[in-house]
Amino acid sequence: METLLQILSPTFLLRNSVYASVLIGFACPLVGVFLIIRRLVFMGVALPQISSTGVAFALSLPLWFGFHLTDHGSQTAHTLAFAGSIVFSLAAILSLAFMERRGRGQPEGRLGTAYVVAAAAGILLLAKNPYGEVGWLDMLKGEVITISNFDLVLTIAMLAFVLVVLLLFQKELILVSFDREMALILRKNVIFWDVMLYILIGLTVSVSVLSVGPLITFGFLLIPALIAHRFAQTMIQFTLFASLIGGVSAFIGFWIAYQYDLPVGPTDVVFLGITYAMAWIAGLSSKVLL
Partner 1 sequence: MFARITPGEHTQQPMHNSLIKLDNVGIGYAGREVLSGISVSIDRSSFTAVLGANGSGKTTLLKTILGLLPPITGRIEAASSGVTPIFGYVPQTSRFDPVYLLTGFEVALMGSFGRVRPGRFVPQAERTFTRECLQATGAEEFYHRRFSELSGGQKQRVLIARALTTRPDILLLDEPTAGVDHAATLAIMEFISQLHKERKMTVLLITHDFAAAHRHAEQVIWLHAGKVYQGPAQKLLTAEHLKKMLEGEMN
Please give the Cα distance from 27 to 175 (Å, whole number).
21
Gap between the Cα atoms of 205 and 96, Å rounded = 15
Applying CB under 8 A, which of residues 4, 137, 157, 186 lies at the interface with partner 1? 186
Please choose, out of 88-96, 115-123, 178-186, 264-272, the segment that lies near partner 1 by the rule CB under 8 A: 178-186
Contact 222, 32 (CB under 8 A): yes
* Interaction of residue 286 with partner 1, rule CB under 8 A: no
108/179 with CB nearer partner 1:
179
238 near partner 1, judged by CB under 8 A: yes
Out of 61, 137, 153, 182, point to the residue binding partner 1 (CB under 8 A).
Answer: 182
Piece in contact with partner 1 (CB under 8 A), picked from 3-11, 134-142, 174-182, 249-257: 174-182
Residue with Cβ nearer partner 1 (37 or 94):
37
Q: Does 178 bind partner 1 (CB under 8 A)?
A: yes
Chain centre to alpha carbon of residue 276: 18
CA-to-CA dists, residue 229 to 141, 204, 234, 235, angstroms: 28, 21, 9, 9
The angle subtended at Cα 251 by Cα 233 and Cα 18, nearest 5°, is: 135
Longest Cα–Cα distance in the chain: 68
The least CB distance from residue 31 to partner 1, in Å, is 16
- Per the document, the length of the chain is 290
Residues lying near partner 1 in the complex (CB under 8 A) are found at 36-37, 39, 168-169, 171-172, 174-175, 177-179, 181-188, 229, 232-235, 237-238
